[in-house]
A = this chain, B = another copy of it.
Amino acid sequence: MNITDRQQEIMDTAIAIIAEEGIQKLTTKALSRRIGISEPALYRHFENKLAILVAILEHFSQWSRIVLWEIVESDRSPEDKIRELFRRHAVRFVESPATSAVLFSEEIFKNHPELVQSMTGIMSAAEGFVRHILEEGIAAGRLRADVPLEHLAMVTLGALRLLVTRWRLNDYGFDLQAESDRLAGSVVAMVAVSP
C-alpha cells in the first residue's frame, strides 16, 4: 500500500479542494484540472473517486494513531497528555486545515459505507486513546472519579471538536493554536480533581 508521488499529489489536491470549497466541489473534473492532468488520468492512480477519499482517511488514521500513541506512551502527567492532545491536533489542523474539514464532517460520507467505516474507525481509535489517558489519570488520583470515564472523554473530545468546527466555519479566521491551548487548560481544570 505504498503511495506514489502522483497519488500523494492527488490526495493533497483533493484535501485542498475540500478545505477551500467543501466536499461537494470535489469532482473529478475539478481535481484533475487543478493538478493539470486529464480526468481519466486519475483512474490510473486510484480505482475510484471513493478510493481517493478512503486513502485520505487512511492517511490521517495512521497519523492519528501514531500521534496518539506517542502521547500515551510519553512520561507526561495525564493532565499534560490532554494538553498535548489538543496541541498536536491544533498544529496539524493549522498545517492542513482541510484535515479538519474531512475529519469532522462525517455526515457527508453517509452514503458510502466504506467511508463511514473508516471514519468510525478513526473516531473510536481516538476515543480509545483518550480513555486510556483518562483512566491513568483517575488511577493516579489526579483526575476526577465522580464522573463516568466515558463522559470525561466526551467532554474532552467534544470541546476540541467544537472549537475546531467553529474555527472552520469561521473560515480559519482565528488563532486555533492559541485558542486550543487555552481551551485545553480549562478542560484539564474541569477534568482534574479539585485542588
Contact = CB atoms under 8 A, between A and B. Distances in A.
Interface of A: 21-25, 101, 104-108, 110-111, 116, 119-120, 123, 144, 146-148, 151-152, 154-155, 157-163, 165, 168-169, 182-183, 186-187, 189-191, 194
Query: Chain A contact residues: over half helix, strand or loop, or mixed?
Result: helix
A189 B193 CA distance: 11
A90 to B, nearest CB: 14
Contact of A186 (B101, B104, B107, B151): B151
A189 B194 CA distance: 12
Contact of A21 (B111, B147, B160): B111
Contact of A190 (B116, B147, B165): B147
A40 B123 CA distance: 41
A134 to B, nearest CB: 13
Nearest to A169: B106
Nearest to A184: B151
A174 to B, nearest CB: 12
Contacts of A169: 106, 116, 119-120, 123
Contact of A161 (B111, B116, B162): B162
A186 B24 CA distance: 37
Contacts of A155: 155, 158-159, 186-187, 190
Contacts of A190: 144, 147, 155, 190-191
A158 B162 contact: yes
A193 to B, nearest CB: 8
Contact of A22 (B110, B159, B163, B168): B110
A110 B148 contact: no
